[in-house]
Amino acid sequence: MNSENNGTEPNSNFNRSSINNEPNNKKGIGTTTLIIVVIIAALIGGGVGGGVVNLLNNQNQTVKTTTGQTTTPTKVSSVVVKESSSSVKAFDKVKGAVVSVINLQKQKSTDSLFGGIFGSPNGGSNNSSGKLEESSEGSGVIYQKSNGKAYVATNNHVVAGSDKLEVLLSDGSKINAKLLGTDSVTDLAVLEIDASKINTVAQFGNSNDIKPGQQVLAIGSPMGSKFATSVTKGIVSAKSRTIDVTDEDTGQTTGQATVIQTDAAINPGNSGGALINVSGQVIGITSMKLSGGTNSATVEGMGFAIPSNEVVQIVNQLEKNGKVARPALGVSPVDLSDVSSTQQSSVLHLPSSVKTGVVVVSLTSHSPADKAGVKQYDVIYEIDGNKVTSVVDLRSQLYKYQIGDTITLSIYRGSKKMNIKVKLTQEAKQEITVKQQGNN
């Protein structure tokens, strides 16, 4: 006994004696207690008392308790929600006219292991095999159906470098497409397809009527045809936003574009797709997405679309002529800011107050500028009263006019200001090329 206690159970003898004395009293005390409880419970409520009596009568039986006996299986609600939102109606109206555009190119191969390094013996390092491979995918919008043919508006960079083009319709049908024309300046192109399976044609709305804050939907094939006819929702962030257009081969800014800015998600593959209003009208062709800013910062909710009014003007020319005719001055320009201050003084003889403009480095003989009397080293600072601060400005201002129009150039010739009228009779060459990379 002492070994069991050892200071760890000081009251063990007392507990044991108490336990040994309990058997004679346990039954009487337990029964009496239960009877008292039953009587009290009966006075309070028959339900409790009955439960206790039942417990008393089943002392020696195992009691099984179950839960959830009255619950019913979870089911899908039978309530039908009748969606009548304008966004749903707008999407349903246009979705059949938005397609995927597949760019196929011939596989490149070298003549030999060393041909790609040193050039082939036949004078060329690369040959194009007859095998076509999918190079990239974008989106397009069917905007017209006539005489058994349908016409698709898309982006120039979506079809750039193609050896063959295919269009994947909204019903999953794949048909061949013919490239009618491209315009690298506006990044637009027109395709022609067979119209036998075309049931829906999109309608262009007036992009001049849009307002910042109004709801828009972007429809296209983000990340390729696997996600064809995807729709995202947003608002018009800005009605008319001027952004620089960059040549991806050189990284240089080659022009400016006036576009619609939206926060509707526009991802690679959406290029060439539709930006629509809640009436189901196409107000823009999605083209560019600003995916990164300075210091590699990521920018979200910033997509762009070519305004429908400009699209209509361009696709009509591409459909008819295969190109867009734009005027040219016939000069080789350079930004004044790229000319050293020493040369501005010693060669151009400009007043020190002149800080911006475009220097005419050379002219093409018999060009509109040459015929009008523009000279080498003249500095153009205005066109029809609109400031020209760079070559980008010069080109953007000039492209607002048609061949045959007459404009007024404001120039510095040395320290002297003068105005020269120029009739635009020469057609400009397309100068902007867009390098194709993956899904568009």
Give the separation between CA 328 and CA 330, rounded to whole angstroms.
Answer: 6
One of 162, 170, 187, 396 is an active-site residue; which one? 187
One of 100, 136, 139, 157 is an active-site residue; which one? 157
Chain position carrying tokens 């800005």: 238
In this structure, what is the dihedral angle of CA atoms 231, 235, 239, 244, given to the nearest 10 degrees? -60
User: How many residues are given for the chain?
Assistant: 440
Buried b (16+ CB within 10 A) or exposed e, 409-421: bbbbbeeeeeebe
| Catalytic (active site) residue 187 | yes
Chain position carrying tokens 């002392």: 59
Q: How many other β-carbons are positioned within 10 Å of the β-carbon of residue 83? A: 8
| Catalytic (active site) residue 111 | no
In this structure, are residues 154 and 191 in contact, taking their beta carbons and an 8 Å threshold?
A: yes
In this structure, are residues 141 and 98 in contact, taking their beta carbons and an 8 Å threshold?
A: yes
One of 230, 271, 287, 396 is an active-site residue; which one? 271
DSSP string spanning 349-392? Answer: ---TT----EEEEEE-TT-HHHHHT--TT-EEEEETTEE--SHH
In this structure, are residues 322 and 181 in contact, taking their beta carbons and an 8 Å threshold?
A: yes
In this structure, are residues 402 and 327 in contact, taking their beta carbons and an 8 Å threshold?
A: yes
Dihedral of CA 64/68/69/74: which sign?
negative
Taking phi over 0 as left and psi of -120 to 50 as alpha, with beta for the rest, 157 belongs to alpha
Structure tokens, 193: 């397809």
Structure tokens, 117: 């390094």
| Phi, psi values for residue 404, rounded to 5° | 110, -15
Percent helix, percent strand, percent coil in the chain, to nearest 5: 25, 35, 40
| Catalytic (active site) residue 157 | yes
Instruction: State the catalytic residues.
Output: 157, 187, 271
